[in-house]
Every structure is written in C-alpha cells, then in structure tokens.
C-alpha cells in the first residue's frame, strides 16, 4: 500500500492560504427598504434563493403574566391574514414549491424561506402580508392552543430538552431571556391567553425598526429592494433588542435530577452562566478554548470519554444564548444509566484538567485551522451564508466581521484562551443536571 | 511519491481549468485518463470505472465555491446482515474511524485528526442498503482524505479492544434511539411488516447483537464487502476531472478487486396475506400511529406515482392529511411517503396524536383519506402542485456539494444512481390516473401493518 506520512503538514498550509484570499463583504449589498434592513449576497447560479430574517418579538418580550403570547403570536402568523385564509396562502406557496416558516426564539422571531428565483415577488409579498396582517381568528386560535399544548407535552418527553430546561432555570434568574419556562408555566399561560392578548402583542412588537432580511443565492439586489420596498411600504413600529439584563448572584454548585419515565439513555448538562456576550472581547477566546474541550472527534471530551473510554455516543461543550445577552456555558452528554456515574466522573476529570492546565499551543494552532476550514465549508451553501450574515448582524458585529473573523481567529494566543477559561468559568460553580429514568438513591 | 503527484496535478489542473470553468452545469465534462473507462454521462455527472479493480467513480465538477465533497459508498447495509450480526454494518462503520495501516490517531494522522484539522464537515452513515463515508472540505485538503479512505478500504485494523470500547458507544446510540417513541414505533412496524427479508431488523441491530458480535464476524463482514468493486466514489465540487481521477487512481489503483463475487441477497419477502397490527406501550405523553403498506423498490416504475401520492397526502397545509388530521386537531403532525430502497420497501403514513384524540379516530381518518384517493382519484391541480414541490425540493437539495452527494448516495443505494437525474422527469410525467392506480394497487388492507404507540404512565425499571 502507498505510504504517505507527511501530507497533513504540507496540505494544512495550502488550505489556509486558500481560504484567506476571498472577500465576502465586498459582494454584499445592504440597503434600507421601507424601513427594513435588507442584505443581499449573490451566490451560485442554481436558480435558488434562501432567506434568513429576524425581528425582536420573541418570548422574552411577553409579559410575565402572559408568557405564551409571543410563541402563539408567532405560531399564528401563517394561519391566515385579514385578506385571505391559510389555505389560500399555502396554495400559492405549495404551487410554487416555495418554503416559508416562522419560528419564535427567546429574543427573535425568525423567518426562513427557500424558493426558486422566479417566485421572489410572491414570497416577499406573502411574507409581508403574514407579518403585518395576521388574522388571529378565534377558530385558528383554538387550534393553535391545542398544537401548543402538544408541543409542550412532547418536549417533556425529551431528556435533552428537560436537562437543558433545568440547567437554564438553575443558572439564570426569573426574567432573564435565557431562562426557560417550565411546562406547567407554559400550559397555564396558554390556557389564560386570549385573542386580544395576541393582537395587542403583535401591535406592540411587530414592525420594521429592527427587522433584518438576508437574501442569498441567484439574486438581483435591485429587484429584492424593489419587492421589499413595495411589500412592506407603510409598515411602522418595532422595538429594539434587549442587550442588558440584571444579574443575580451566581448559584452555588449543586446537582438536580429530572425524572423522565421510560428512557434508556440519560441526558446530562453541566454548566454555568458566564456573563459574556458574543461581542465582548474575550468571547472568541473562550469559544475556541471550548471547541478544544468539546466539539469534534479530536476534541478532548470526544477523544477521551467517547473514543478511549466508550462511555457515550455524544458529548460536547458550547457557549449558548450569548447573541444579545449574557450567555451560558455547558457540557452536554448522554449516558446509559449503568455508565452514568463513570461518565460524569470522566467528564469532570477532563473539565478540571482543561480548566486548570489550559490548552497547549499545538492544540490552539490545530483548532485555528479547523475553525477556519469549517467556516469556509459552512459558507458554501446559500443557507450557510445567509445564516452567517444574519448571525453577524444579530451578534452586533459589522458585516466586515465576515471577512475579519478568520484573521481574528488566527490572532488568538494561548494566553488569551487560557485567561478567558479561568476568568469566566469555574467548575466549583457549575450545576449538574441528570435527566432520564434514574433509580432513586 | 506525494511530491511528484502534486506537481503533476498542478500542471493538469492549469491545462484543464479554462474548458471546465465554461461548461454548463449539466454538461458532461468527461475526460480521458489512462486506466479509466468512461461508462456514461447523465445530467452533468460522469461515471467512470477504474479498470484495475472495478471501482466506480461518479464525478461532477462544481466551481461555485472552493470546496469539494468526496464520498465513498459501499453497497452494504443492514440488508446484508443475518441473525447474530444485526447491526454489524453500523458497528463496522464506527470501527472504520479507529485506524488503518498507515493512518491512525497513534501515528498522529488519523482520519479524525486530518479532517478535524482541515475543518472538514465529515461523517459516515449506515442504512438498509448502503454505508457511506464522506467529507466536505477545502479543495486543497482533498488528496489527503482520498489517501485515508483508500487505506481504510483494505487495511483497517479491527482490534478487539476498539470493538469493546466502541460497543458501548454504539449501544448508547441505540439507547438514544429508543428514547424516541416515534422511532421505536417505526422500527417495530418494519419488523412486523418484513418477516423473511432483512429489512425486518433495524439498522442499529438488536441490542444483544450489538453487545456480543465477535470481532471475527466483523472482520468477515469487512473482508466480504469492503472492496473497490463493491464501492462507488463520488467526487463533487471544485475539482477538475482529470486531476480528480488521477488522485483516485493514485490511491485506489493498487487495491485488488474482491477475490470472490460479492454475495447477493436472494431472500424475498413472501406475499403478505392479511393485515398485521402491533401496539407499543411505553411511558409517554401523546400517542402515535403508523400505517405501512408493502411498496415497490426504489427503481420501480410505480415509485414516481407513489412519491406524488405521498406529497398530495402530506406536503403543505393544503395536503389531504393536514386538512383531515392536523387542521381538525386530531393530530399534531401527519406524513406519508415512500423512501426509495433497493428492495421493495414500505409506503408509510404516520401521525402524532393531538391531546384528546384517540388512536381509533386518527386511524379511521387516515384510512378515509386513502379510501377517497382509491375511490375518487386526485385532481390534476394536486398532481401539478406535487410535481412543482418535488422539482423545487430537488433544487434546494442540490444547494452545495454535500447536499448533492447525500442525495446521490441514496440513489446509488437503490442500484441505479442515474435516477438522481432522471427521477424528476419521471415524476413530471405522473398523471392523476397513475396516482389512483398505485393507491389501489399498493394501499390495500391485506398488505398493511398498523402500529400504535400507546403512552403509559408507569415507569420502566
């Protein structure tokens, strides 16, 4: 067989030179059309256009007395408008094979669409109609409540979701956008909700003021501007994103068990709040350090807890919820009940080793190549590019960041990474959640 | 040898760049490279055969981004397993990452390390009819990945210690799968619908087989199926054809073809002669239903009409099952489709029950909609809409080299990769009469298997 032992070093250098040369931002066209922040980026020639957009009307804007208002308002956007019912709208999209969906997150209502180039006017018109003039009919409202209840109850069966929910409630205070509501809270709120609540919520929060729409693919920027300008003309309102929140004292480290009956795998979350947002200077260093700990097969957690010890199918570490407000940091893994204790011990051992000893220069250099290469691959589809552009806007970064990101990664030093790890994380403050069918002790 | 290859490749690349760059997306870019036979060109994809060992190469240049997807599809899946080795294809897929003669973590050049350093998006998957290994990465990293894939085709370590460590990893994958009632229900429906044909068992295998399959059996499996004449290499993206073929030949050319013919599966599912039912009871919140009917293979002439039927039943808010189930608050979701498989598979209709709905109500509603299609047919407008949806879906799926490779992989598994290109025309020619005919032919009670997931409140220990 052919022996090749030196290729990695040779080809690694070539890959870096290649990705460093292309500019994204010089091909971007950004305009304000009818008050909407419109960003267009031409890419490929395969007749497809992908849209990613968002505006601040997520769950954290719903009043404490009515926490389900944002989610159900978002859910009802495609359930008919004051001009036509949902079937008439769906027929137009389905006939064209176009896809459009709204989703409500903690801060933002996002819109995603994919369609053929010829259908741009149709999709933009229907998107505007659904965002601006939802019907909120009593009949659809009743159906939405049933769907909402089913969705909440289904989530209760997911050990991953339950662990995630419990960790957020343990580390974020009441009112923090990253704190998740319990099923009981959701269902009680939905039960009390009225159509008038939805109309009031929509009136107060939906508008173009902080609405960004990104179009990527086989596009004509001036046509997009024209269509958006026409479809959203006369729309007003909207609110800014919440970027500052009050902080409670960091909770003491503790352990919680969430019982979910009938499950063969246990989900584990181990983490803390970090008091960092994406745009803070130290976040990139912490982010790359976190990738070294828990991301792909070469990361420390995967190579030890999975590959060497065989204790889990999946384990990783990540920063969460740092787009607008202070985020959290967590390790997430799944274990068989009989391997749970060993799995947690190994995980905590690797965490401590990483936290105390930091990352090495060799690890950082390898990870930089990984991050830059992965970034290049992620931008090779219209969806990947559109998401990256919208994420840059929401992260509070200028669009030049799309090009500067690689340079910023390259510039990171071992000292910056290890300082950030020590500064923002402390294993002694982390909360451990186990969700699954666990025997009582 | 490496240095020589790179110089040679650079020269070839420069010579071919102009003509390749100007080619239309679906035009053939076939080239003549010594050692390869050009088999055919369909829809911008060129098929070559490496003369030395029968390796098939599918090549589609796409220069819209400086990335390339390289994929190896082996024609082996869980359909090739028997009692005692169920799940072996999947375990073997995991062990393919544990090291081969020249590439391993210990040597510092393992597949994870190399692709990780490149920032590649990579993985491997196992399914009924095939196993695939793939990576999307910057074009400059291609050669190193081809070298690793070629090495692990015949020089895999397969150590018992690795099997033991990986067994619990795979078992946790199985446990996670079992956490999902919908997935568990589907596995039980397939196990009930198929009694002789190996689609009976889930690709993950039975838990006891996962735990106990000996390394010798895995070695036997590897030595039976991992040969160039049982593999298809797909090369899609920013690569010029001559350079890509030269790389494939360089790394795969010395591997011999299989010393024995690759075993064929000759077991056929006997004709089902009556409806089958099953109930899965587990802790849970909301129930679910699946009704499955015996369908044709992915290459069958009836598959396009069944695909259109699935779309009419469940794609979009105007679909029949959405209106009958979701819009009436009987279900939270409703789907109907047939996946193209190598052997005759299943047309499946599934629904998640809404709070307050009963299994009887939902099953009755699904069957009523099927009955309407069988009795009254579908409209031309519905068929036209389904064709538009399929056409758009195909365009979306081909946004990026990884999407193209993924879709191509599934058609390779059916035994005819050209359907990746031609299926869209077959779909476009489906008529309302075709849809009614296949609904009558396949969706009959005697060929059905119905499964209910019934949530319980008791705890399992």
Q: Is A380 within 8 Å of B282 when comparing Cβ atoms? A: no
Q: Is B118 within 8 Å of A15 when comparing Cβ atoms? A: yes
Mean pLDDT of A295-317: 94
DSSP code of residue B200: G
Q: What pLDDT does residue B76 have?
A: 97
Q: What pLDDT does residue B17 have?
A: 28
Beta bridge partners of B280: B453
Contacts of B356 in chain A (CB under 8 A): 146
Shortest CA gap B244–chain A (Å): 16
* Residue B14 Cα distances to B9, B64, B239, B245, angstroms: 9, 18, 11, 15
Interface test with A, best of B116, B204, B288, B351 (most A CBs within 10 A): B116
Structure token digits, residue A404: 């500067």
Q: Is A11 within 8 Å of B390 when comparing Cβ atoms? A: no
Domains of chain A with bracketed CATH? 24-231 (3.30.830.10), 255-436 (3.30.830.10)
Q: Which residue of A has its CA nearest to B395?
A: A48
- What residues contact residue B106 under an 8 Å CB cut-off, 6+ apart? B99
Instruction: Select from A302, A362, A99 the least CA-distant residue to B391.
Output: A99
CA-based radius of gyration for chain A:
23
Q: Which residue of A has its CA nearest to B457?
A: A261
Q: Is A261 within 8 Å of B151 when comparing Cβ atoms? A: no
Q: What pLDDT does residue A124 have?
A: 98
The phi-psi region of residue A55 (left if phi > 0; otherwise alpha if psi is between -120 and 50; otherwise beta) is beta
Q: Is B169 within 8 Å of A312 when comparing Cβ atoms? A: yes
Contacts of A51 in chain B (CB under 8 A): none
Q: What pLDDT does residue A106 have?
A: 92
Residue A259 scores a pLDDT above 50 = yes
Q: Is A153 within 8 Å of B355 when comparing Cβ atoms? A: yes
Q: Give dist(CA A211, CA A55) in Å, integer.
A: 4
Instruction: Please report the number of interchain residue pairs, chain A to chain B, with beta-carbon separation below 8 angstroms.
Output: 268
Shortest CA gap A372–chain B (Å): 7
Q: What pLDDT does residue A3 have?
A: 28
CA-based radius of gyration for chain B:
24
- What residues contact residue B4 under an 8 Å CB cut-off, 6+ apart? none
Instruction: Select from A327, A243, A242, A322 the least CA-distant residue to A278.
Output: A322
CB crowding B249-280: b at 16 or more within 10 Å, else e: bbbbbebeebeeeeeeeeeebeebeeebebeb
Facing A15 at nearest CB: one of B141, B327, B388:
B141
pLDDT tens-digit map of A112-161:
999 999 999 999 999 999 999 999 999 999 999 999 999 999 999 999 99
Residue A21 scores a pLDDT above 60 = no
Q: Is B400 within 8 Å of A384 when comparing Cβ atoms? A: yes
Candidate from A37-41, A64-68, B40-44, B81-85 with smallest mean pLDDT: A64-68
Element (H, E) at A420: helix A414-424
Shortest CA gap B56–chain A (Å): 20
Q: Give dist(CA A243, CA A38) in Å, integer.
A: 22
Global ipTM: 0.87
Q: Is B102 within 8 Å of A1 when comparing Cβ atoms? A: yes
Mean pLDDT of A30-59: 94
Shortest CA gap B396–chain A (Å): 7
Query: What pLDDT band is residue A247 in, cutting at 50, 70 and 90?
Result: low
Q: Is A47 within 8 Å of B395 when comparing Cβ atoms? A: yes
Q: Which residue of A has its CA nearest to B286?
A: A154
DSSP code of residue A81: B
Sheet holding A212-217, edge to edge: A29-33, A36-42, A212-217, A48-56, A108-116, A99-104
* Residue B425 Cα distances to A93, B418, B419, B429, angstroms: 22, 12, 9, 6
Tens place of pLDDT per residue across chain B (461 aa): 222 222 223 322 322 222 333 345 577 778 999 999 999 999 999 999 999 999 999 999 998 889 999 999 999 999 999 999 999 999 999 999 999 999 999 999 999 999 999 999 999 999 999 999 999 999 999 999 999 999 999 999 999 999 998 999 999 999 888 888 899 999 999 999 999 999 999 999 999 999 999 999 999 999 999 999 999 999 999 999 999 999 999 999 999 999 999 999 999 999 999 999 999 999 888 999 999 999 999 999 999 999 999 999 999 999 999 999 999 999 999 999 999 999 999 999 999 999 999 999 999 999 999 999 999 999 999 999 999 999 999 888 888 999 999 999 999 999 999 999 999 999 999 999 999 999 999 999 999 999 999 998 644 33
Q: What pLDDT does residue A9 have?
A: 28
Q: What pLDDT does residue B179 have?
A: 87
Mean pLDDT of A328-337: 96
Residue A53 scores a pLDDT above 90 = yes
Q: What angle do CA A238, A243, A248 make, to 5 degrees?
A: 130
Q: Is A262 within 8 Å of B176 when comparing Cβ atoms? A: no
Instruction: Select from B147, B50, B133, B165 the least CA-distant residue to B100.
Output: B147
Q: Which residue of B has its CA nearest to A113?
A: B396
């Amino acid at each position: 067989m052919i022996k090749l032992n030196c290729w990695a070093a040779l080809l690694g250098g070539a890959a870096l030179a290649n990705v460093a040369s292309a500019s994204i931002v010089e091909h971007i066209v950004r305009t304000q059309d009818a008050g909407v922040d419109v960003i267009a980026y031409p890419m490929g020639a395969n007749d497809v256009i992908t849209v990613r957009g968002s505006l601040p009307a997520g769950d954290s804007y719903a009043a404490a007395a009515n926490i389900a208002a944002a989610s159900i308002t978002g859910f009802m956007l495609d359930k008919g408008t004051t001009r036509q019912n949902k079937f008439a709208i769906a027929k137009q999209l389905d006939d064209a094979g176009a896809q459009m969906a709204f989703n409500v997150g903690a801060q933002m209502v996002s819109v995603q669409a994919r369609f053929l180039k010829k259908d741009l006017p149709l999709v933009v018109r229907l998107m505007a109609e659904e965002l601006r003039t939802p019907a909120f009919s009593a009949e659809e409202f009743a159906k939405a409540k049933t769907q909402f209840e089913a969705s909440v109850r289904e989530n209760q069966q997911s050990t991953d979701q339950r662990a995630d929910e419990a960790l957020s409630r343990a580390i974020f205070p009441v009112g923090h956008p990253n704190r998740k509501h319990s099923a009981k809270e959701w269902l009680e709120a939905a039960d009390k909700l009225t159509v008038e609540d939805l109309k009031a919520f929509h009136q107060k929060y939906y508008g173009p003021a902080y609405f960004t729409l990104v179009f990527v693919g086989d596009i004509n920027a001036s046509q997009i501007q024209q269509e958006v300008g026409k479809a959203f003309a006369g729309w007003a309102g909207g609110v800014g994103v919440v970027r500052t929140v009050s902080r409670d004292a960091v909770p003491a480290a503790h352990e919680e068990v969430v019982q979910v009956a009938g499950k063969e795998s246990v989900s584990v979350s181990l983490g803390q709040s970090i008091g960092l947002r994406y745009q803070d200077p130290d976040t990139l260093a912490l982010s790359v350090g976190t990738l070294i700990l828990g991301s792909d097969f070469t990361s420390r957690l995967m190579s030890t807890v999975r590959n060497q010890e065989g204790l889990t199918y999946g384990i990783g570490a990540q920063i969460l919820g740092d787009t607008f407000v202070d985020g959290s940091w967590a390790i997430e893994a799944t274990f068989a009940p009989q391997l749970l204790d060993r799995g947690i011990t190994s995980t905590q051992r690797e965490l401590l080793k990483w936290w105390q000893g930091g990352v090495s220069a060799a690890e950082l250099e390898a990870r930089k190549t990984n991050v830059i290469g992965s970034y290049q691959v992620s931008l090779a589809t219209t969806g990947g590019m559109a998401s990256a552009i919208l994420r840059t806007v929401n992260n509070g970064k200028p669009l030049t960041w799309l090009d500067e990101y690689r340079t910023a990664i390259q510039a990171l030093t071992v000292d910056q990474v290890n300082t950030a790890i020590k500064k923002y994380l402390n294993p002694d403050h982390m909360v451990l959640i186990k969700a699954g069918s666990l025997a009582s002790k | 040898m490496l240095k020589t290859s790179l110089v040679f490749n650079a020269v070839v690349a420069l010579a071919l760049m102009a003509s390749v760059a100007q080619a239309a997306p679906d035009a053939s870019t076939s080239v003549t490279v010594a050692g390869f036979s050009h088999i055919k060109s369909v829809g911008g994809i060129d098929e070559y055969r490496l003369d030395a060992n029968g390796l098939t190469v599918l090549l589609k240049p796409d220069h819209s981004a400086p990335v390339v997807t390289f994929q190896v599809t082996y024609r082996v899946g869980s359909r090739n397993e028997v009692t005692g080795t169920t799940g072996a294809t999947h375990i073997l897929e995991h062990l393919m990452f544990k090291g081969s003669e020249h590439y391993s973590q210990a040597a510092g050049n393992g597949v994870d390390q190399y692709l990780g350093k490149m920032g590649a998006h990579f993985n491997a998957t196992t399914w009924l009819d095939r196993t695939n290994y793939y990576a999307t990465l910057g074009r400059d990293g291609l050669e190193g990945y081809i070298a690793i894939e070629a090495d692990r085709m015949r020089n895999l370590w397969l150590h018992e210690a690795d099997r033991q460590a990986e067994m619990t990893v795979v078992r946790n994958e199985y446990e996670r799968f079992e956490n999902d009632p919908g997935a568990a229900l589907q596995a039980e429906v397939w196990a009930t619908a198929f009694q002789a044909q190996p689609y009976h068992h889930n690709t993950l295998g039975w838990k006891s087989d996962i735990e106990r399959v000996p390394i010798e059996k895995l070695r036997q499996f590897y030595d039976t199926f991992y040969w160039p004449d049982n593999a298809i290499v797909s090369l899609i993206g920013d690569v010029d054809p001559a350079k890509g073929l030269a790389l494939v030949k360089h790394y795969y050319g010395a591997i011999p073809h299989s010393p024995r013919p690759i075993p064929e599966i000759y077991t056929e599912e006997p004709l089902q002669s009556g409806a089958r039912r099953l109930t899965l009871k587990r802790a849970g919140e909301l129930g679910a239903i699946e009704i499955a009917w015996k369908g044709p293979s992915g290459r069958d002439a009836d598959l396009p009409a069944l695909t259109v039927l699935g779309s009419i039943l469940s794609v979009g808010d105007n679909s029949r099952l959405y209106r009958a189930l979701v819009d009436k608050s009987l279900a939270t979701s409703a789907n109907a489709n047939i996946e193209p498989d190598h052997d005759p598979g299943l047309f499946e209709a599934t629904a998640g029950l809404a709070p307050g709905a009963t299994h009887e109500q939902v099953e009755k509603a699904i069957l009523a909609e099927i009955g309407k299609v069988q009795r009254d047919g579908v409209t031309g407008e519905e068929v036209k809409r389904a064709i538009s949806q399929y056409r758009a879906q195909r365009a979306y799926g081909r946004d990026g080299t990884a999407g193209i490779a993924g879709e191509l992989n599934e058609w390779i598994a059916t035994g005819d990769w050209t359907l990746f290109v031609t299926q869209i025309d077959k779909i476009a020619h489906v008529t309302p009469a075709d849809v009614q005919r296949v609904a009558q032919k396949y969706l009959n009670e005697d060929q059905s298997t119905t499964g209910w997931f019934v949530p319980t409140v008791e705890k399992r220990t």
